[in-house]
Amino acid sequence: MEQNKNKGLNSLLSDSDLVVQRKVAAFRGVSEVEIDKLEVGTQQPRSHFDVKSIEELAESIRVHGLIQPITVREKEDGKFEIISGERRFRAAKLAGLDKMPAFIRDVDDHRSIEMALIENIQRENLNPIEIALSYQRMVTECQVSQEELGKRVGKSRSAVTNYLRLLNLPTEVQSGLILGVISMGQARPLIPIQDNNLQLDIYQRILENDLSAREIETLVKKGNAFEAGANELDLHREDMRIEEITLKGKTLVPIKIQIQDLNKGNVAIKFSNAEELAEILAKLEVS
């Protein structure tokens, strides 16, 4: 009985040793790697780097050194491919470093892609399109379901789906997301629109008027109604809904516009006392 117990314990210890050996094989520790031996991997999700941000990081590295190592894997030719940390690599190079600290991992192509995408998604300030492209690669190249991907990156399945759907937007809108001139919240209402021309028309209005997500949703509903052949009165009601939202946003006043026909309607303003009414009228610039 005791012998069997010892055998079982030895078996568990052997299994643990095997697990440790595998981990050691996958992680070789931190080493100082020569800058000239580092290469950017093709699996890197980031495509846009802020030059000023790189310069600021380079200056910090000159003063304090590089605190956080990058992650690399060794290639057959003796060089090292960057898995994550390309921004730090660029800054270190700009700072004039000859070497930089790196975690060296022994991983295959499939695992390298997965590590690069997940580490960059979680740790780097990627724009929405870079995140969407990273998610797409995880789904197609790493054969990960959207639900499983959500668990790995700490997002809901619907959030992953919304990012992936950004890739169906026109190129101009995607460029706006990359450059930061439009937010994901502003772009999301454009996704269900089937007509690219309508998407671009609303996108231009967003740029010109800095519309909120709610205002954009109202425009989308109006556009869909127009495409569906809505009558003139329905379109006029949608126009007034946009005016209502615009007034509320500019004045912070509770205004309700009700339309009866093309030339008739009511404008309702709620207030609790004379002082509040005076403040509302002042905001509306009514004497």
Q: 164-171: long-range contacts at Cβ-Cβ below 8 A with a sequence spacing of 24 or more?
A: 164/132, 164/135, 164/136, 164/139, 165/191, 166/128, 166/129, 166/132, 166/191, 167/129, 167/132, 167/133, 167/136, 169/199, 170/196, 170/199, 170/200, 170/203
Structure confidence at residue 166 (pLDDT)? 92
The share of the chain scoring above pLDDT 70, in percent, equals 72
How far apart, in whole angstroms, are the C-alpha atoms of residue 53 and residue 55?
Answer: 5
Structure confidence at residue 98 (pLDDT)? 92
Structure confidence at residue 44 (pLDDT)? 60
Q: Of the candidates 44, 76, 107, which is a domain's last residue?
A: 107
Please indicate, yes or no, if residue 9 is contained in any of the structural domains.
no
Structure confidence at residue 8 (pLDDT)? 43
Element (H, E) at 207: helix 196-209
The tally of domains found in the chain comes to 2
How far apart, in whole angstroms, are the C-alpha atoms of residue 173 and residue 215?
Answer: 17
Q: Which domain holds residue 87?
A: 24-107
How far apart, in whole angstroms, are the C-alpha atoms of residue 162 and residue 114?
Answer: 20
Instruction: Give the confidence band of 37 by pLDDT, cuts at 50, 70, 90.
Output: very high
Instruction: Inform me whether the pLDDT recorded for 23 exceeds 60.
Output: no
CATH number of the domain to which 45 belongs:
3.90.1530.30
Structure confidence at residue 13 (pLDDT)? 36
Please indicate, yes or no, if residue 103 is contained in any of the structural domains.
yes
Please indicate, yes or no, if residue 280 is contained in any of the structural domains.
yes
Structure confidence at residue 173 (pLDDT)? 92
Q: Helix, strand, or coil here: 238?
A: helix
Instruction: Inform me whether the pLDDT recorded for 171 exceeds 80.
Output: yes
Please indicate, yes or no, if residue 137 is contained in any of the structural domains.
no
pTM: 0.53
Instruction: Inform me whether the pLDDT recorded for 230 exceeds 60.
Output: no
Structure confidence at residue 224 (pLDDT)? 56
Please indicate, yes or no, if residue 205 is contained in any of the structural domains.
no
Q: Of the candidates 65, 90, 107, which is a domain's last residue?
A: 107
Structure confidence at residue 51 (pLDDT)? 82
How far apart, in whole angstroms, are the C-alpha atoms of residue 55 and residue 253?
Answer: 45
Element (H, E) at 40: strand 38-40
Q: Of the candidates 107, 138, 153, which is a domain's last residue?
A: 107
CB-based contact 187:175 (threshold 8 Å): no
pLDDT in tens, 195-220: 788 888 888 888 888 888 888 887 77
Instruction: Inform me whether the pLDDT recorded for 259 exceeds 50.
Output: yes
Please indicate, yes or no, if residue 129 is contained in any of the structural domains.
no
pLDDT in tens, 132-145: 888 888 888 777 88
Average pLDDT of the residues in 214-235: 63
In the numeric block, the tokens 């070497």 are attached to 99
Instruction: Inform me whether the pLDDT recorded for 227 exceeds 50.
Output: no
Structure confidence at residue 15 (pLDDT)? 40
Q: Which two tokens stand for residue 238?
A: 């949608």
What's the chain's average pLDDT? Answer: 76
What is the end-to-end Cα distance of the chain in Å, rounded? 97
Please indicate, yes or no, if residue 175 is contained in any of the structural domains.
no
Average pLDDT of the residues in 123-152: 81
Instruction: Give the confidence band of 177 by pLDDT, cuts at 50, 70, 90.
Output: very high
Average pLDDT of the residues in 14-41: 62
How far apart, in whole angstroms, are the C-alpha atoms of residue 162 and residue 92?
Answer: 35
Please indicate, yes or no, if residue 214 is contained in any of the structural domains.
no
Instruction: Give the confidence band of 36 by pLDDT, cuts at 50, 70, 90.
Output: very high
How far apart, in whole angstroms, are the C-alpha atoms of residue 69 and residue 105?
Answer: 12
